[in-house]
Amino acid sequence: MRTSRIISTGRYVPSKVVTNDMMAEMVPTSDEWIRERSGIQQRHFVDSEIGVSDLSFEAAKIALERADMNAEDIDMIIFATLSPDYMFPGSGVLLQEKLGIPGVPALDVRNQCSGFVYGLSVADQFIRTGMYDRIMLVGAEVHSTGLEYNERGRHVTVLFGDGAGVAILGASENGSGVLSTHLHADGRYALELCVTDPGSRKIPRINPDMFEDGSCYPHMNGREVFKHAITKFPKVIKEALDHNNLTTEDIDLLIPHQANLRISEAVAQRLNLRPEQMYNNIQRYGNTTAASIPIALDEALEKKLIKENDLVILAAFGSGFTWASAAIRW
Ligand code: UT7
C-alpha cells in the first residue's frame, strides 16, 4: 500500500538570541517568572524586515540538500503559519517564487499551533492517492514583530519565538511512514487565543483604536488554554495509538508542539512516559507555533534520537482550538 514518509527535514532560526533577561528589558517580567511558568530560557527574533517565506527558504534549502533533491523535484508546497508575510497572498507562493518553481501548487494552512500536523495530514492524503509524489511541508512563524511589548501583553509576549522548519514528504511502498493522522477543532473557543484585528468584519478594517484596545495583538486566556491543552494532548495521542493498536510503551519518541514545558511535563505524566520518550526544546526557542514540531523533529533527527522503524508520535494543540496527532513508523 502506498503511504507517505518524511524523506528529510531542515530548520532555520534567525541568529538574534533574546534571553529572558533581555526580554525583561523590553517588558515588565523576569527570568524567574518565565522559566517557572514556561521553561523558556531564550528565543530567536528577526532583527530586520524578514518574513516567514525568508526563514522557510533557508530551511527548505537544507531539507532539499539532505534529500539530494532540487527544488524542481517538489510537486507541491504546503505552508502552515499564523504570521504570513502579507495579509494575502499566502506565504506558500512567496516561498515557491524564492525556490524558482513557478506553476507548482502552493497551499497555505491556517491552523496555528496544529498547522504542521494538519499540513502533514493534507500532504499524506495527496501522496496516498497518488496525486503527488513529493511535497514540501513548511511550518514557519515570525511572532516578534506582532507582539505587544508592555504589561498588558507580557503573558503572551514572553512565550513566543521566530523560526521555520521544513519536511519533505515522499511516497513509501513498504508500509513505513505516516500510519495515521487525527484532526480536531472546537470553534467555541476561537476567541480564547486569537488576534482579531485587522479583520474583514471591522468597518473600517484598520483603525487606530486597535492599538489602544490591543485587538491587533494576540489575546490569550492562558489558564483556559492550559486546561484544555493538558487534556486534549493525551487524548489525541491515545487516539493515534489506539487507531494503530499501539500503546504508550510503543512510543519511541513523542514530539509535542512546544507550547509550554509545563504542558509537556503534564502530558508526559498523564501518559506515564519515560523522559527519553519525549523531545522538548522550548527552552531554547520559545513557542514557535507551526514551526515548533518541524524544528524539534529536525533536531531530534540530527541528534540521532530517531532510528529506522521507530514509532514517532507528533501532537499539537492550540488556537482555534485545534488539536491533532500523527503516528509515524520511521
Ligand atoms: O500554543 C499554545 C500557546 N499558549 C499556551 O500554551 C499558554 C498556556 N498557558 C500558560 O502557559 C500560562 O497560563 C501562562 C504561562 C501564559 C501564564 O501563567 P499563569 O500562571 O496562568 O499566570 P497568569 O496569567 O494568571 O498571571 C499570574 C500573575 C499575574 O499577576 P497577579 O495578578 O497575580 O499579581 C500576572 O499579572 O503573573 C503576572 N504576569 C507576569 N508577571 C511577570 C503575567 N505575565 C507575566 C510576565 N512576567 N510575563
For the chain, percent of residues with pLDDT exceeding 70: 100
- In the numeric block, the cell 487606530 is attached to 208
- DSSP letter string over 231-247? HHHHHHHHHHHHHTT--
3-173 CATH: 3.40.47.10
Residues having CB closer than 6 A to ligand 1 are 29, 33, 37-38, 113, 154-155, 158, 220, 222-223, 225-226, 229, 259-260, 263, 287, 318
What is the reported pLDDT for 108?
98
Query: Which residue's C-alpha comes closest to atom 6 of ligand 1?
Result: 259
For the chain, percent of residues with pLDDT exceeding 90: 99
CA distance 91 to 59: 14
Burial of 28 (0-12, 13-18, 19+ CB in 10 A): exposed
Q: Given pLDDT bands bounded at 50, 70 and 90, which one contains residue 181?
A: very high
228 is catalytic: no
Given the residues 20, 111, 260, 287, select the one marked as catalytic. 287
Given the residues 44, 228, 257, 260, select the one marked as catalytic. 257
| 170 neighbors 7 (Cβ within 8 angstroms) | yes
113 is catalytic: yes
Given the residues 111, 113, 228, 280, select the one marked as catalytic. 113
What is the position in ligand 1's atom list of the atom closest to the CA of 319? 2
DSSP state of 51: -
Burial of 289 (0-12, 13-18, 19+ CB in 10 A): buried
Domain with CATH 3.40.47.10 in the chain: 3-173, 178-329
CA distance 314 to 312: 7
Residue pLDDT, tens place only, 204-223: 999 999 999 999 999 999 99
- As beta bridge partners, residue 4 has 171
Cα dihedral 185, 191, 196, 199 sign: positive
Nearest to residue 157, comparing CAs of 230, 85, 220?
Answer: 220
What is the reported pLDDT for 129?
97
What is the position in ligand 1's atom list of the atom closest to the CA of 113? 1
Instruction: Report helix, strand or coil for 185.
Output: strand
| 328 neighbors 179 (Cβ within 8 angstroms) | yes
Nearest to residue 83, comparing CAs of 162, 11, 23, 26?
Answer: 162
Is the pLDDT at 175 greater than 90? The verdict is no
216 is catalytic: no
**Model's pTM, two decimal places?**
0.98
Tell which one of 31, 155, 160 to mutate to probe ligand 1, the residue whose CB is within 8 A of the most ligand atoms: 155
Residue 123, Cβ neighbours under 10 Å: how many? 27
What is the position in ligand 1's atom list of the atom closest to the CA of 158? 48
What is the position in ligand 1's atom list of the atom closest to the CA of 154? 48
Identity of the amino acid at 276: E
Instruction: Report helix, strand or coil for 42.
Output: strand
Instruction: Report helix, strand or coil for 140.
Output: strand
Tell which one of 27, 37, 263, 321 to mutate to probe ligand 1, the residue whose CB is within 8 A of the most ligand atoms: 37
Is the pLDDT at 304 greater than 90? The verdict is yes
CA distance 17 to 284: 9
What is the pairing mode between strands 135-141 and 76-80? parallel
CA distance 325 to 77: 21
What ranges in 107-221 are assigned the alpha helix state H?
A: 115-128, 154-157, 209-213
Please state, rounded to an integer, the average pLDDT across all residues of the chain: 98
Residue pLDDT, tens place only, 22-76: 999 999 999 999 999 999 999 999 999 999 999 999 999 999 999 999 999 999 9
Residue pLDDT, tens place only, 229-271: 999 999 999 999 999 999 999 999 999 999 999 999 999 999 9
* CA–centroid distance, residue 221 to ligand 1 (Å): 9
| 325 neighbors 315 (Cβ within 8 angstroms) | yes
Tell me the CATH class for 178-329: alpha beta
CA distance 279 to 109: 25
* CA–centroid distance, residue 229 to ligand 1 (Å): 15
CA distance 56 to 98: 10
